[in-house]
Amino acid sequence: MVEVPATTPNIIFILTDDLDKATLEAPLDRMPSIKSLIADQGATFDNFYVSESMCCPSRATILTGEYVHNHGVEDNYAPDGGFAKFRDMGHEERTIAAHLKPLGYTTGLFGKYVNEYGPKTDSSTHVPPYWDRWFATFNEKRYRWRVNDDGTETRYGKAPADYSDNVIGEKARSFISDGAADSPFFAYVAPHAPHEPLEDPPDHTTEFADEIAPRNPNFDEADVSDKPEYVSKQPFLTDDEKLEIDQNYPHRLRMLLAVDDMVGAIVNDLEAAGDLDNTYIFVTSDNGLMQGEHRRGGAKHNPYEEASHVPLLVRGPGIAPGTRISELTLNTDFFATFADMAGDPADRDGRSLLPLLNGNTPTSRRNQLHLGNPGSYYGIRTERYKYVEWDDGDMELYDLQNDPYELQSIHADADPTLVEDLKAKLDALKSCTGQSCREAEDAF
């Protein structure tokens, strides 16, 4: 085993589910721990995205550090995605845990792993290699749920103490407390909030009662004739649909309060153990969620900002409190970042965020790839534009500087040289791997 210096940092990665950036930012002042202990004490990324806005492909990207076209997990379910595809392609042998474990890290996963993990894929007792502690749930239920607890299938009931995200937090805290005396450790903590089913935590059942979903200009968009057929044929939201969106919203926020409680408890544990100053803590999401934007309710795998723009907050050694980072960043970057923090950089598709966190050399990424499900569209987002090519020939092009809510696709009237340039950059990204991805992302 490689010897690790005593100063090698611990890493805690908290991955929520279906949390768009706006849903966390709007009520952030009422998420006291996430705000005061993470955002205020660390860095907020203003332009952090996922390359495919769907649970399993995004989680596969986080675990492998690769764009979807390289890891091949294109969907939540077989045959194009899900647990079996992830396992059968050999990815469990090359996750971030496989990189950190030989460096002396104690590794643990708590909560959601990848979709279809569990009894249906004969994985009720399967523990992937390189994980020292394994507590992986089989679905997103909050009560009456099952979990693989270090190779043993365990069932939880309907008592308040069985609320899944609270249990996930407790198991993670036990691992972190044990590891604080024998660091370094890597904790991958994946609560289900604010994913459906919308069941309030037992300690948070009344907050946000008067909140309604955001009413940005693209909510129930007035004119969608510029968009592909699956949107342009979408009728206006009915009153009942709007009501359902608004009724769901407070529950989503209450479920996030369970994550906020978890964050507060973890930070308190680390501080009590004297290990807080040597620990990086990340709070992010696997994808966003559309809540009525462009007449789409509950949609994820779409090319629009609400589906792919997610929060990323980080505190840890060397990060100045209140840091804001505006550079384009992506979920391909987590693997490289964790590896860099461990002192053993990795060459996957992404790049380390550590220089940005330390206030040093900014990333030169100007372009990033977005992929549809499975392969229904490819898109590129630059610092200013978003260009999307659909498999059926439809196109979309948005000037995000002048049209941040993507109200009017300008593909029909744009300068042909602009379209040709974006198409060429997109083509380079669609087939990139490793260093060639970074070169394609950096292209002017």
Check which CATH number belongs to the domain holding 333 and give it.
3.40.720.10
**How many residues belong to the chain?**
444
Torsion of CA 153, 76, 94, 342, to 10 degrees: -90
Q: What is the pLDDT of residue 181?
A: 58
In a domain, 317, yes or no: yes
Residue 59 has pLDDT above 90, yes or no: yes
In a domain, 372, yes or no: no
Is-contact 272 205, C-beta < 8 A? no
What is residue 429's DSSP assignment?
Answer: H
Q: What are phi and psi of 153, to 5 degrees?
A: -75, 125
Domain range spanning residue 224? Answer: 10-362
Residues near 116 by beta carbon (within 8 Å), at least 6 away in sequence: 56, 76, 77, 78, 82, 83, 84
In a domain, 64, yes or no: yes
**CA proximity to 68, closest of 78, 58, 77:** 58
Residue 348 has pLDDT above 90, yes or no: yes
Question: How would residue 31 be classed by pLDDT, with cut points 50, 70 and 90?
Answer: very high
Q: Where are the alpha helices (DSSP H) in 141-215?
A: 164-180
DSSP state string for 393-410: S-EEEEETTT-TT-----
In a domain, 430, yes or no: no
**CA proximity to 193, closest of 135, 117, 111:** 111
Mean pLDDT of 361-382: 84
The answer to whether residue 437 is catalytic is: no
Left (φ > 0), alpha (ψ -120 to 50) or beta: where does 353 sit?
A: alpha
Q: Where are the beta strands (DSSP E) in 86-218?
A: 106-111, 133-137, 146-149, 152-155, 185-190
Among 341-345, 362-366, 392-396, 414-418, the minimum mean pLDDT is found in 362-366
Active-site annotation holder among 55, 56, 432, 437: 55
Residue 62 has pLDDT above 90, yes or no: yes
Query: Per-residue pLDDT tens for 286-315?
Result: 999 999 999 999 999 899 999 999 999 999
Mean pLDDT of 130-136: 98
In a domain, 351, yes or no: yes
Query: Per-residue pLDDT tens for 155-204?
Result: 999 999 999 999 999 999 999 998 755 779 999 999 999 999 999 999 99
Domain count within the chain? 1
Question: How would residue 53 be classed by pLDDT, with cut points 50, 70 and 90?
Answer: very high
In a domain, 431, yes or no: no
Q: Which amino acid is at 245?
A: I
In a domain, 330, yes or no: yes
Q: Tell me the sheet residues that pair with 398.
A: 386
Residue 96 has pLDDT above 80, yes or no: yes
Residue 6 has pLDDT above 60, yes or no: no
d(CA 436, CA 382) in angstroms, rounded, equals 17
**CA proximity to 288, closest of 68, 65, 17:** 17
Q: Is 148 exposed, middle or buried (0-12, 13-18, 19+ CB in 10 A)?
A: buried
Q: What is the pLDDT of residue 180?
A: 59
In a domain, 142, yes or no: yes
